[in-house]
């Protein structure tokens, strides 16, 4: 009896050919799954860790921060003395004029960046005038302004005690009020100011503080000093 080997081999070949795509598709699906599962796990881990980091970021400031718009202003007491700015007049003692103690004002608007709760840096312009019975002394200076709250770490009311320093340059003159003419001119003068204040009133974004400050202005042939007592009013950008 002859065995039907050829039909059986043909049927096996047909079956093998028919099942090859199925085997290839199954293997490809398994390999693709093995690749995608770790990637999905990594993406999920990255997403969850990013969410945790975003939630846990601490606030950079507590009381004050960001861009700061402010002004110090108040009545002032002071005096000035000097010569005209002409080269032949600067060192002539007979042309020197000196005021008595004069009364006036000083106003300093400024724009600053409050980097932390206890330190800020900015720029300002200081305007002022002093007047006695005979003379008046107007002043304009452009200043680089620093503010610090050295007791902030103590907490409580101490965190609102501040100090300021101003460095800059400007110009001042002496005017004879009776003759309505200029009798002294500083030319370009240097300015140095120091102040203290206490932010006793907070209504975000505004803070109001009593303020006391001094400013010394000097050139080679001119000298002007004043003391101002008034208010410091600021708006903190981080509190808007």
SS3 category, 179 = coil
Q: Are residues 169 and 231 in the same domain?
A: yes
Q: 206-219 and 119-131: which strand pairing?
A: unpaired
Check which CATH number belongs to the domain holding 89 and give it.
2.40.160.20
Domain count, the chain: 2
Answer whether 238's CB lies under 8 Å from 206's CB: no
SS3 category, 118 = coil
Q: What angle do CA 142, 146, 151 make, to 5 degrees?
A: 155
> Tell me: the pLDDT tens digits for 136-194?
999 999 999 999 999 999 999 999 999 999 999 999 999 999 999 999 999 999 999 99
Q: Report the candidate in 71, 79, 124 with the shortest Cα–Cα distance to residue 104.
A: 79
φ/ψ of residue 145, rounded to 5 = -115, 135
> Tell me: the pLDDT tens digits for 16-66?
444 444 454 455 445 444 544 444 444 444 444 445 455 444 556 788 999
Q: Are residues 47 and 76 in the same domain?
A: no
Q: Are residues 195 and 222 in the same domain?
A: yes
Element of type H or E holding 131: strand 119-131
Longest CA pairwise span in the chain (Å): 150
62 burial type by CB count under 10 A (0-12 exposed, 13-18 middle, 19+ buried):
exposed
Q: What pTM value is reported for the model? A: 0.73
For 34, residues 6+ apart whose C-beta sits below 8 A from its C-beta are none
């Amino acid at each position: 009896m002859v065995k039907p080997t050829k039909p059986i081999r043909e049927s096996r070949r047909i079956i093998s050919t028919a099942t090859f795509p199925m085997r290839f598709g199954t293997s490809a699906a398994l390999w693709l799954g093995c690749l995608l599962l770790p990637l999905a796990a990594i993406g999920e881990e990255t997403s969850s860790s990013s969410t945790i980091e975003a939630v846990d970021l601490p606030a950079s400031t507590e009381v004050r921060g960001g861009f700061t718009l402010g002004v110090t202003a108040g009545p002032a007491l002071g005096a000035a003395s000097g010569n005209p700015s002409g080269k032949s007049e600067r060192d002539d003692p007979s042309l020197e004029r000196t005021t008595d103690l004069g009364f006036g004002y000083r106003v300093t608007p400024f724009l600053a960046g409050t980097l932390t709760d206890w330190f800020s840096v900015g720029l300002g312009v200081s305007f002022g005038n002093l007047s006695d019975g005979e003379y008046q002394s107007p002043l304009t200076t452009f200043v680089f302004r620093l503010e610090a709250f050295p007791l902030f770490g103590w907490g409580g009311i101490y965190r609102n005690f501040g100090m300021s320093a101003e460095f800059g340059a400007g110009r001042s003159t002496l005017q004879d009020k009776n003759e309505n003419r200029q009798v002294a001119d500083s030319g370009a003068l240097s300015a140095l100011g120091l102040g203290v204040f206490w932010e006793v009133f907070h209504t975000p974004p505004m803070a109001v503080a009593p303020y006391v400050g001094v400013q010394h202005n000097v050139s080679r042939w001119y000298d002007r000093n004043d003391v101002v007592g008034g208010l410091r009013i600021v708006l903190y950008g981080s509190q808007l």
